Amino acid sequence: MEIRIQGLTKHYVSEGKTVKALDNVDLTIPANTIFTLLGPSGCGKTTLLRCIVGLETPDDGEISIGGEIVWSKARGIAVPTEKRGLGMVFQTYAIWPHMSVFDNVAYPLQIRGESKDEIKRKVAQTLRFVQLEGVENRSATKLSGGQQQRVALARALVAEPKVILFDEPLSNLDAKLREETRKELRSFMGSLGITAVYVTHDRVEALALSDSIAVMQAGHIVEIGSPQKIYFDADHRYVADFIGRANLIAARVVGQDGDLTLVESGLGPIASQHRSLPTGSEVTLCIRPEFIRIDGSSQAGAGRNAISGTIESLEFIGEVYEAQIRVGNERLLARIDPDIPVKEGDTVSVNLNPAHCLLVSA
């Protein structure tokens, strides 16, 4: 089911001040995709999710699900949460401690008045899907964190919702379990082929799980794109910085050379990915640490974007060293292979592939 949001606004009053949690948001979430709302705490992502599900009442705008309007200020429409055909997985799982796994999962069907045989069949089918067969009679809160997360997912899926919504469901798991559960969740959602809306502040989760990502800031959607587009080819400085570690350097466009845009920066003259920008435009040069190539030579190499710098610090983090490299008045964060024989204080050759030099809004 496609979700369409138009002009959605939600304000809160806190300590006498009006806070714009959502500020005239327009958004279309395609059917049968995993769509992630990504941003820092307070950006409005959870408020937007809660408005979709009906747990918050917007101040203005319109929400439609599968072509049916479920909320509209202008039309006076407000479909109750339980009639929107949605499933929800909360950050805290919201598992009832006095109920067994079976009863937790069966609850949405019980309140819908389905027969005992139908409930038994659907619960068994759903538990089998989330790989929890054999634990039906156990107390849900006696399970591991990953299993509890799957109980919450099963409860959301058993009623066969048109859309399922996730509010940071992995944030309470430890790092290793979060990674394992993330892979399971991606596999589950891919098998179901329904629309999923996922809220997180974790960029790795967003990149690993999503078909599309909307990056939010202060009640606005800044940019929407595939994980690859958002990471490798963002249009905005805020997005490039939020989605991953990046070197962000002030630059000015000085011309075009075929399929490259030339800029002057604190690193010197740099050739970058093509952008249709007039000469003199102020921009930000974005270079990911993993795309900076280092060798032990004390002289700058030949060719485009070959410069020299001094290693100010080296930090071993396992598979690579992270280095701070001084180039003029700029400092570059780079990732260096442990096999390259360098140490703090060395002058090294730095090579920047123009394909990985991105220009974003200043």
The domain that holds 338 is classified in CATH as 2.40.50.140
Pair (177, 99) in one structural domain: yes
Contacts 24+ apart (CB under 8 A), 201-206: 201/38, 201/39, 201/40, 201/41, 201/45, 201/168, 202/168, 202/170, 202/171, 203/38, 203/242, 203/243, 203/244, 205/36, 205/170, 205/178, 206/36, 206/38, 206/243
Give the chain's domain count. Answer: 2
Pair (215, 196) in one structural domain: yes
- The pLDDT assigned to 301 comes to 52
Token pair belonging to 346: 């060395």
Pair (50, 189) in one structural domain: yes
Pair (232, 266) in one structural domain: no
Domain boundary among 202, 218, 239: 239
Distances (CA, A) of 280 to 62, 240, 253, 255: 42, 22, 5, 8
CATH number of the domain where residue 110 is located: 3.40.50.300
Question: Across the chain, which distance is largest between two alpha carbons, in Å?
Answer: 78
- The pLDDT assigned to 184 comes to 82
Pair (285, 215) in one structural domain: no
- Report the alpha-carbon distance of residue 183 to residue 178 in Å, rounded: 9
- The pLDDT assigned to 354 comes to 95
Pair (261, 275) in one structural domain: yes
- The pLDDT assigned to 210 comes to 95
pLDDT in tens, the chain (362 residues): 899 999 999 999 888 888 899 999 999 999 999 999 999 999 999 999 999 999 999 999 999 999 999 999 999 999 999 899 898 888 776 788 888 999 999 988 988 889 999 999 999 988 988 888 888 889 888 888 888 888 888 888 888 888 999 998 888 777 887 888 788 888 878 888 889 999 999 999 999 999 999 999 999 999 999 999 999 999 999 999 999 999 999 999 999 999 999 999 999 999 999 999 999 999 999 999 999 999 766 555 557 899 999 999 999 998 899 999 999 999 999 999 988 889 999 999 999 999 999 999 97
Pair (198, 255) in one structural domain: no
Provide the sign of the torsion angle of the four alpha carbons 225, 228, 230, 232, taken in this order.
negative
Q: State which residues form the domain around 341.
A: 245-289+298-361
**Other C-beta atoms lying within 10 Å of the C-beta of residue 284:** 21
- Is 176 buried (19+), middle (13-18) or exposed (0-12) by CB count in 10 A? exposed
Pair (218, 281) in one structural domain: no
Pair (356, 261) in one structural domain: yes
- The pLDDT assigned to 236 comes to 95
- The pLDDT assigned to 296 comes to 63
- The pLDDT assigned to 288 comes to 96
Pair (211, 277) in one structural domain: no
Pair (70, 184) in one structural domain: yes
- The pLDDT assigned to 299 comes to 58
- Report the alpha-carbon distance of residue 359 to residue 120 in Å, rounded: 56
CA angle 324-330-331, nearest 5°?
10
